[in-house]
Amino acid sequence: MIRTAALLLLTLVIIPTLAFKFGQPLDETQVHMIKSAATIMLASAGLCFIVSEWTGNCSQFDKLWSILPVVYAWLFAAQSGWDDRMVLMAVLASAWGIRLTYNFARRGGYSWKFWEGEEDYRWEVLRRRKEFQNKWVWRLFNLFFISLYQNTLVLLFTLPPVIAWQVKDKPLGIPDALFAGLFLLLVIIETIADQQQWKFQTSKYRKRDSGEPMTEEEKQGFVSSGLWSKMRHPNYAAEQGLWICFYLLAAVASGNYVNWSIAGCILLLLLFWGSSNFSEEISAGKYPAYKAYQQRTPRFLPKLLRK
């Protein structure tokens, strides 16, 4: 996990630097958009760090993951004078945000006392590792990776509307409709995957606590049916795909197919690869059948797409 975090932090510096150096220069409006969003991002990172240190709950940013992209997207739309394409992108971000916020809320992620709520189980696993026993090592990890890096990443993958500003007078067309439709389809797929996981876990724990007979799948401990029989992480796969669509919507409209806002997509892919590695390491240690599941089921792409 430390190596993954170091790679992500290094990439965070290298990719945007190269992209800005060789990309199209920003105009005054684009600079203003980025500065205003960056101010929100830094305030969020500082708040997350302070509250997590105060409470010992390092999942403070998880509560904002599905909210901040919506804020950024509508901020950009407003600063553009409600350009059609940027409003469309804000609507797409909102559809994603509403769904993910609901899913996080029903798992106990929010509380009226905003500093409380469920902490991601992976942080506790990581916190117990010997390399994090020194409280200052963990504190620095919390500051630079959990709080600052994740906030920066969310801002970066929400920046494509700033690219869309380059073609503010170009009317919406078929490519916009295609990428918007694919984005919404991936939101639906992610919704189905999360619902299947929710139903499985709810049933498993209810039966375990009441002493009811479990299905064979419930006895093995993890969901492996439905979309989860096609991919080990269908929700992660859809999440990555929809933000790639978000990037492509602006890139294709502008004709600038590889631009500096691609940094967010690349960093998101790297994060999900590292995150899924860590999650699977934990699952393989908890469930004896998980290694066999790994061998027969692809991680992100169904077998049909891998041939």
Nearest Cα to Cα of residue 68 among 35, 45, 102: 45
CA distances from 269 to 41, 250, 291 (A): 20, 19, 23
* One-letter identity of residue 170: K
Residue 170: strand, helix, or coil: coil
Q: The whole model's pTM is what?
A: 0.86
What local confidence, expressed as pLDDT, does residue 305 receive? 55
Q: Which two tokens stand for residue 81?
A: 């004078």
Q: Which residue numbers in the chain have pLDDT < 70? A: 1-24, 112-117, 121, 304-307
- Boundaries of domain holding 150: 2-306
User: Of 52, 63, 47, which Cα lies nearest the Cα of 109?
Assistant: 63
The SS3 call for residue 168 is coil
pLDDT in tens, 253-304: 988 888 888 888 888 998 888 888 888 988 998 999 999 999 999 998 887 6
Q: How many domains in the chain?
A: 1
* 84-110 exposure pattern, b = at least 16 Cβ within 10 A, e = fewer: ebbbbbbbbbebbbebbbebbeeeebb
pLDDT at 307: 45
